[in-house]
């Protein structure tokens, strides 16, 4: 006799979420231990009394979460924490500061057009901007930014005197690919002075490169005093 699963009545959850929850429970309770094969799609389809697409959607989410892996012809199996990935979300710096209850302010430090480098911005050059983002008047983030004037010629007309490049980019420019690098470094003398920290103080540095398709759009190097800032990510 086939054992049918039925979730406790709850319309706040879609069917594929209910099924995924039940699958999570089985993994959690050791009914589906790490390394073991889980039943085939058709078996699950029958057991849950749902369409194959719905079961597949639940399974796909578990794959995204890195809890199971699927191999054609060989079924699916539970995996350990190996492939755990998290979602990193870096908000607009103004939103970040305001969400902490501080007053945001902005200061443009430098702005000039430089010749292109390494095949980037070789026609129109690169717009180079250095600016400071402050929380309650205290330096919070130092931004070094270059904008590719070949792919974003409109940027040349932006003064960036009262709002930073990021505000403009968010409003105007979509991106298909972002590379983010997070590192630590000791503050050099000039940067330390701007950020009002002692020389050699630890900094958390976030570097982002943004592309639309293959076209390089912009690059930012964001330096923060280590005490004031950390990056947080949540699982999928």
Partner DNA sequence: TAGTGGTCTAGACCACGTA
Partner DNA sequence: ACGTGGTCTAGACCACTAG
For DNA, the binding residue among 31, 33, 36, 52 (CB under 7 A) is 52
CA distance 202 to 200: 6
Rounded to 5°, the CA angle 44-48-52 comes to 60
Asked whether 47 and 23 are in contact (CB, 8 A), the reply is: no
x/- track of binding to its own copies for residues 178-217 (CB under 8 A): xxxxxxxxx-------------xxxxxx----x-xx-x--
CB < 8 Å & 24+ apart, contacts of 56-60:
57/16, 58/16, 58/17, 58/19, 58/20, 58/23, 59/23
Q: Give the nearer residue to its own copies in terms of CB position, either 112 or 179.
A: 179
Closest separation between CB of residue 140 and its own copies, Å?
Answer: 14
| Size, binding site for its own copies by CB under 8 A | 60
Phi then psi for 73, rounded to 5 degrees? 70, -10
CA distance 144 to 195: 13
- Candidates 24-32, 107-115, 117-125, 133-141: pick the segment binding its own copies (CB under 8 A): 24-32
Q: Which helix (H) or strand (E) segment is 170 a member of? A: helix 165-172
For DNA, the binding residue among 26, 57, 102, 130 (CB under 7 A) is 57
Decide if residue 75 touches DNA (CB under 7 A).
yes
The interface partner of residue 15, options being DNA, its own copies, none and the CB cut-off 5 to 8 Å by kind, is DNA
Please report where in the chains the tokens 């755990």 appear, as a residue.
84
For DNA, the binding residue among 53, 115, 119, 174 (CB under 7 A) is 53
Asked whether 76 and 37 are in contact (CB, 8 A), the reply is: yes
Decide if residue 23 touches its own copies (CB under 8 A).
no
- Candidates 11-19, 101-109, 150-158, 228-236: pick the segment binding DNA (CB under 7 A): 11-19
DSSP for 18-52 reads HHHHHHHHHHHTTSS-TTPEEPPHHHHHHHHTS-H
For its own copies, the binding residue among 90, 120, 191, 194 (CB under 8 A) is 90
Interface ranges with DNA (CB under 7 A):
11, 14-17, 40-42, 49-54, 56-57, 59, 70-76
Residues that bind its own copies (CB under 8 A): 24-25, 27-28, 34-35, 65, 67, 78-92, 166, 169-186, 200-205, 210, 212-213, 215, 226, 229-235
């Amino acid at each position: 006799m086939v054992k049918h699963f039925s979730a406790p009545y709850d319309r706040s959850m879609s069917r594929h979420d209910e099924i995924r929850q039940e699958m999570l429970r089985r993994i959690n309770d050791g009914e589906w231990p790490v390394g073991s094969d889980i039943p085939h799609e058709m078996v699950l389809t029958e057991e849950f009394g749902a369409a194959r697409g719905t079961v597949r959607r639940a399974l796909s989410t578990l794959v995204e979460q890195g809890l199971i892996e699927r191999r054609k012809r060989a079924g699916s199996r539970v995996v350990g924490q190996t492939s755990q990935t998290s979602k990193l979300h870096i908000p607009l710096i103004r939103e970040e500061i305001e969400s902490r209850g501080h007053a945001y302010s902005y200061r443009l430090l430098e702005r000039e057009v430089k010749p292109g480098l390494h095949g980037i911005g070789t026609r129109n050059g690169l717009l180079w901007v250095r600016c400071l983002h402050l929380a309650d008047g205290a330096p919070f983030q130092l931004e070094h930014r270059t904008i590719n004037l070949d792919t974003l010629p409109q940027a040349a007309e932006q003064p960036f005197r009262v709002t930073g490049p990021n505000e403009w980019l968010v409003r105007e420019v979509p991106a298909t690919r972002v590379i983010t690098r997070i590192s630590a470094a000791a503050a050099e003398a000039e940067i330390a002075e701007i950020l009002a920290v002692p020389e050699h103080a630890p900094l958390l540095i976030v570097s982002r490169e943004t592309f639309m398709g293959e076209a390089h759009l912009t690059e930012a190097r964001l330096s923060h005093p280590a005490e004031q800032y950390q990056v947080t990510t949540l699982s999928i």
